[in-house]
């Protein structure tokens, strides 16, 4: 196997690894969104308990519950934002690759290196997008946990009254 073949093979693997990572992030985002929706739904069942009047404990419990809803709301918005994909690169459409390599001065080995270069350029672009998506999902997870903790504190305070 020539050096160019090895470079082409590994650059394609790198490109495909980012595609697999994108699919993983998409599945993770869907799970986050589903979990947040279920938790918000369960939290909204007790929305009638929210009252910002009455005893100090009742008011405090309501404020924690409201803060939990806000945190859940932010978590779902951030998770939805992580699903947005802009400028994600995939295989060239149509015959653009053929057009690029059709020059008679480009030999077999140069063609392999040009394609490898394309794969690596696409990999780098997609990796930046996936890194941003992963950060958004991490942020969404932090808001999800924060909302959950606020909801638990709200219930502890409410049940203590």
- Amino acid 81: pLDDT: 93
- DSSP per-residue string spanning the chain: --HHHHHHHHHHHHHHHHHHHHHHHHHHHHHHHHHHHHHHHHHHHTGGG--SSSSHHHHHHHHHHHHHHHHHHHHHHHHHHHT---S---SPPTTHHHHHH--TT--HHHHHHHHHHHHHHHHHHHHHHHHHHHHHHHHHHHHHHHHHHHHHHHHHHHHT-
pTM > 0.75: yes
- Amino acid 95: pLDDT: 67
Rounded CA gap, 97 and 40, in Å? 48
Domain parsing of the chain, residue ranges: 3-92+108-159
- pLDDT tens across the length of the chain (161 residues): 788 888 889 999 998 999 999 999 999 999 999 999 998 888 777 777 777 788 888 888 889 989 999 999 999 999 999 988 777 777 776 667 677 777 777 788 888 888 898 889 989 999 999 999 999 999 999 999 999 999 999 889 888 75
Rounded CA gap, 81 and 36, in Å? 14
């Amino acid at each position: 196997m020539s050096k160019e073949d090895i470079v082409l093979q590994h650059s394609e693997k790198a490109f495909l690894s980012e595609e697999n990572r994108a699919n993983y992030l998409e599945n993770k985002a869907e799970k986050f969104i589903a979990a947040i929706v279920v938790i918000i739904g369960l939290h909204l069942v007790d929305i009638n308990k929210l009252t910002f009047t009455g005893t100090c404990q009742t008011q405090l419990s309501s404020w924690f519950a409201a803060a939990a809803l806000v945190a859940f709301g932010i978590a779902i918005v951030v998770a939805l934002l992580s699903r947005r994909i802009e400028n994600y690169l995939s295989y060239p459409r149509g015959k653009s690759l053929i057009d690029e390599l059709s020059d008679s001065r480009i030999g077999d080995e140069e063609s392999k290196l040009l394609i490898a270069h394309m794969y690596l350029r696409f990999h780098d672009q997609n990796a930046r997008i996936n890194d941003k998506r992963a950060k958004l999902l991490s942020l969404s997870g932090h808001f999800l946990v924060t909302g959950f903790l606020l909801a638990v504190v709200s219930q502890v305070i409410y049940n203590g009254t």
